[in-house]
């Protein structure tokens, strides 16, 4: 107990299984100097009073006020950092036209490091203020601006996993926004990996380079192969878009005569540290390949509604044992909040199950067993995200990092509807998941360091 660096006292919610919540009522959380939860002491434990006698009143003792609760920090598995500058706009076109009309012209601007710094500083701060303690980012094709994003995460205390995007096929990408050729795409990626791994040596919470083919259509076959080799050589995370839209799914089918999952696997791009966004068109064979290789799904329910016209059968994939986390997919998903996406994942699953066409007889509507609960959505936003990245994050549990959001249900401008001082704690958890706004997120901690407060 002498090793405690910070001690926190209060009630915490964390996932037990994907379907069940553990409530840690009025516990003591002992965090060591590495930012790891070393010990959790429950009030029934005889050590509890000894800890209180020793630490209460000291600077490193933090007791939550009435109406405040700990939640694990959220893990956002899919963010396009440059697209923050257009979030909320450009939602009127299908994916292919959207990329060419709005998104590629915007991303091209990140050759300008001043512009990149302005947007990236604001985005990282905004995500922290929304409770996101870890984010898996797509940057742009620019090596320097991508490194800048990693440096901003490092400085602001967020755990950032950052990819320099590869788009090297001159047939598929505009001349004003692509890698110059395959050779430079791979060389820039390798230099980027080495630079981020060097930066990581000084960053307590970790920053990580991510091998990032934008999606199969944007890359030559040589680039896809080379990226798989780089990921293996440097043992990096990998991210891409997989089976997202009709157009993209059909393109891959025509080019490789197989689904995205098997094509990506051929290039060494699936595995324990791979996260594939969307995955709307996975069939049972694809899903089995994901489960077998440990590849995770970055589930982006809001973006899927706009750009894939799709509700992914997430309950089916979970039952197959695939790791699943949630992603905002900024800006195809027009919110920086994983609370919004957690709610949307529940809503979308209900629509899939119950059907939306009331003209059909009840028995012909929807897909049975599709619904998920708010507990599962919370799990995807926290522990599921951690498992997807193979990092010890997303749970308030011994040997996990102290990445937490302190939720204040009593903020005058954003009071949660709690009227009974003895309200059931599980009801409070649900109210937090459905009603929390940034005003309620009083403090955010990453790896034992306070990185946001209001």
Smallest gap from residue 213 Cβ to ligand GUN (A): 10
Closest approach, Cβ 325 to Fe ion, in A, equals: 14
Of residues 282 and 428, the one with the C-beta less far from ligand GUN:
282
User: Which spans of this chain sit near ligand GUN (rule: CB under 6 A)?
Assistant: 80, 95, 99, 103, 214-215, 241, 244, 303, 307, 329, 332
Return d(Cα 268, Cα 274) in angstroms, integer.
Answer: 10
CB of 48 to ligand GUN, least distance (A): 48
Q: Which helix (H) or strand (E) holds 63?
A: strand 61-63
| Distance between CA atoms of residues 303 and 165, nearest Å | 19
In the complex, least distance from residue 103 CB atom to ligand GUN, rounded to whole angstroms: 6
Torsion angle defined by CA atoms of residues 248, 253, 259 and 264, in that order, rounded to the nearest 10 degrees: -80
CB of 135 to ligand GUN, least distance (A): 15
Give dist(CA 322, CA 345) in Å, integer.
17
Nearer to Fe ion, 312 or 396 (CB): 312
What is the C-alpha radius of gyration for the chain, rounded to an integer number of angstroms?
22
Cβ proximity to ligand GUN, 168 vs 329, nearer residue: 329
Scanning 121-129, 226-234, 324-332, 376-384 for contacts with Fe ion by CB under 5 A, the matching segment is 324-332
Going by C-alpha positions, the residue among 275, 283, 272, 269 that lies closest to residue 300 is: 275
- Choose the binding region for Fe ion from 57-65, 190-198, 323-331, 429-437 (rule: CB under 5 A): 323-331
Q: Are 447 and 401 in contact (CB under 8 A)?
A: yes
Q: Toward ligand GUN, which CB reaches closer, 59 or 175?
A: 175
By beta-carbon proximity to ligand GUN, the closer residue of 244 and 403 is 244
Query: Under a CB-based contact definition with an 8 Å cutoff, are residues 409 and 46 in contact?
Result: no
Residue closer to ligand GUN (CB basis): 41 or 165: 165
Provide the minimum distance between the beta carbon of 86 and ligand GUN in the complex, in angstroms, as a whole number: 11
Between 208 and 307, CB nearer to ligand GUN: 307
Residues 283-322, one symbol each (x = binds Fe ion by CB under 5 A, - = not), give ----------------------------------------
Mapped onto helix, strand or coil, the DSSP state of residue 392 is coil
- Find which of Fe ion, ligand GUN, none residue 214 binds, CB within 5 to 8 Å per kind: ligand GUN
Residue 452 touches which of Fe ion, ligand GUN, none (CB < 5 to 8 A by kind)?
none
Residue nearest to ligand GUN (CB): 332
The SS3 of residue 429 is: helix
Between 34 and 309, name the residue whose CB sits nearer to ligand GUN. 309
**Strand arrangement of the beta sheet that strand 207-213 belongs to:** 74-80, 132-138, 159-166, 207-213, 237-242, 274-278, 296-299, 324-326
User: Is 443 a residue that touches Fe ion (CB under 5 A)?
Assistant: no
103 binds, among Fe ion, ligand GUN, none (CB under 5 to 8 A by kind): ligand GUN
Helices (H), 311-412: 314-319, 338-354, 374-381, 383-389
List b or e across 2-31, with b for residues whose CB sees 16 or more CB atoms inside 10 angstroms: eebebbbbbbbbbbeebeebebbeebbbbb
Question: What values do phi and psi take at 436, rounded to 5?
Answer: -65, 135
Q: What is the closest distance, in whole angstroms, from the C-beta atom of residue 332 to ligand GUN in the complex?
A: 4
Q: Does 107 bind Fe ion (CB under 5 A)?
A: no
152 and 199 in contact (C-beta within 8 Å)? no
Output the smallest distance, CB 248 to ligand GUN, in A. 7
- The four Cα atoms 389, 395, 401, 402 give a dihedral, to 10 degrees, of 140
Contact residues for 397 (Cβ-Cβ < 8 A; gap 6+)? 14, 37, 40
CB atoms within 10 A of CB 369: 12
Judged by CB under 5 A, the stretch of 1-9, 11-19, 329-337, 446-454 that binds Fe ion is 329-337
For residues 262-281, which are near Fe ion according to CB under 5 A? 277
Residue at shortest CB range from Fe ion: 329
Report in angstroms how near the CB of residue 28 gets to ligand GUN at its nearest.
43
The option from ligand GUN, Fe ion, none interacting with 335 (CB < 5 to 8 A, set by class) reads none
**Contact flag: residue 329 with Fe ion (CB under 5 A):** yes
Binding region for Fe ion (CB under 5 A): 277, 329
């Amino acid at each position: 107990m002498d090793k405690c660096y910070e001690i926190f006292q209060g009630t915490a919610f964390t996932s037990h299984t994907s379907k069940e919540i553990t409530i840690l009522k009025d516990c003591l959380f002992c965090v060591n100097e590495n930012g790891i939860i070393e010990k959790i002491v429950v009030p029934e434990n005889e050590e509890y009073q000894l800890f209180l006698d020793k630490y209460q009143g000291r600077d490193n003792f933090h007791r939550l006020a009435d109406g405040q609760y700990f939640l694990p920090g959220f893990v956002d598995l899919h963010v396009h950092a440059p697209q923050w500058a257009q979030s909320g706009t450009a939602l009127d076109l299908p994916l292919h036209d959207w990329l060419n009309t709005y998104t590629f012209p915007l991303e091209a601007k990140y050759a300008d490091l001043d512009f990149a710094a302005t947007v990236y500083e604001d985005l990282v701060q905004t995500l922290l203020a929304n409770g996101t303690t870890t984010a898996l980012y797509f940057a742009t094709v620019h090596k320097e601006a991508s490194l800048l994003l990693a440096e901003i995460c490092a400085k602001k205390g967020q755990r950032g996993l950052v990819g320099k995007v590869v788009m090297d096929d001159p047939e598929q990408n505009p001349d004003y926004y692509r890698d110059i050729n395959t050779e430079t795409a791979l060389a820039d990626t390798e230099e980027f990996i080495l630079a981020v791994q060097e930066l990581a040596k000084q960053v307590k919470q970790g920053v990580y380079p991510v091998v990032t083919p934008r999606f199969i259509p944007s890359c030559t076959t040589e680039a896809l192969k080379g990226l798989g080799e780089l990921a293996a050589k440097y043992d990096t995370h990998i991210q891409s878009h997989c089976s997202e839209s009709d157009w993209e799914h059909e393109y891959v089918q025509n080019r490789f005569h197989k689904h995205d999952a098997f094509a990506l696997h051929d290039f060494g791009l699936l595995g324990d540290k791979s996260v594939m966004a969307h995955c709307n068109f996975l069939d049972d064979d694809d899903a089995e390949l994901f489960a077998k290789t440990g590849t995770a799904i970055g589930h982006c329910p809001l973006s899927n509604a706009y750009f894939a016209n799709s509700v992914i059968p997430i309950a089916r994939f979970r039952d197959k044992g695939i790791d699943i986390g949630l992603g905002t997919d900024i800006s195809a998903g027009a919110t920086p909040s994983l609370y919004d996406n957690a709610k949307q994942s529940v809503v979308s699953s209900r629509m899939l199950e119950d059907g939306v066409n009331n003209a059909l007889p009840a028995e012909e509507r929807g897909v049975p067993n599709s619904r998920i609960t708010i507990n599962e959505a919370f799990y995807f936003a926290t522990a599921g995200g951690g498992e997807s990245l193979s990092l010890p994050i997303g749970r308030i549990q011994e040997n996990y990092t102290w990445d937490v959001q302190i939720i204040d249900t009593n903020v005058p401008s954003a009071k949660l509807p709690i009227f009974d001082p003895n309200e059931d704690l599980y009801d409070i958890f649900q109210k937090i998941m459905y009603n929390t706004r940034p005003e309620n997120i009083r403090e955010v901690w990453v790896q034992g360091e306070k990185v946001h407060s209001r």
